[in-house]
Amino acid sequence: MLAPAAPRFLVVDDQIVHRLCARVILQHAWPGCVVEEANSLRWARAFLAERHYDLMLLDFHLPDGIGIELLQPSQPARPAWETPVRVPGIGMSSDRTPAILLACAQAGLDTLLDKPLQADELRQAVHHHLPAPSRVMSAAEAMMQASPEISHDVTSRRSAPSAHLCHHLPPRRG
């Protein structure tokens, strides 16, 4: 049986700090996922014309418009016989006025997260659209997977007593 493909996310925000925060949370919750970033509607539209995404995280206020405009399927590069695919989205904003809430609801956006993003809230919102990964990898497993040298070193010492793991530490004084 084939494992499900890793989810693909598009994070659209003009602030690099918010894009980075979203990336870290998503990559921790969905190991192996693909997270791409756009800082404007123009870049996001270019990505959407070339790639498929499972979910978009959309800042409301962007330099060249509002993020929820991306919820309207408008991909002229696709052949006419293909049905445009609507990529689901999660909104992000530090501005929660009634006008913004109404605009999000009218665009079909059912989730608007406050910025700065909170990890638990983002994970719950994404779980609403995508299945949870079968198992979240621990930090140690991620480190071992990223570096085979570390993996070999840790694996070879697993059976040793904990004092042996600290043999590089200088002896205590006093």
Angle (CA) 143-145-148 rounded to 5° is: 95
Query: Which pLDDT belongs to residue 110?
Result: 80
Mean pLDDT by 10 residues, the chain (174 residues): 77 97 95 96 95 95 94 62 74 92 89 93 93 61 54 43 36 47
Q: Is 107 helix (H, G, I), strand (E, B) or coil?
A: coil
Name the residue among 37, 33, 14 with its Cα closest to residue 115. 14
Alpha carbon distance 105, 89 (integer Å): 12
Q: Is 160 within the bounds of a domain? A: yes
Tell me the CATH number at 33: 3.40.50.2300
CA dihedral (22, 28, 31, 35) in degrees, to 10, reads 10
Query: Which pLDDT belongs to residue 168?
Result: 37
| Domain membership of residue 121 as a residue range | 8-129
Same domain, 151 and 65: no
Q: Is 121 within the bounds of a domain? A: yes
Same domain, 69 and 23: yes
Q: Is the pTM of this model over 0.85?
A: no
Q: Is 83 within the bounds of a domain? A: yes
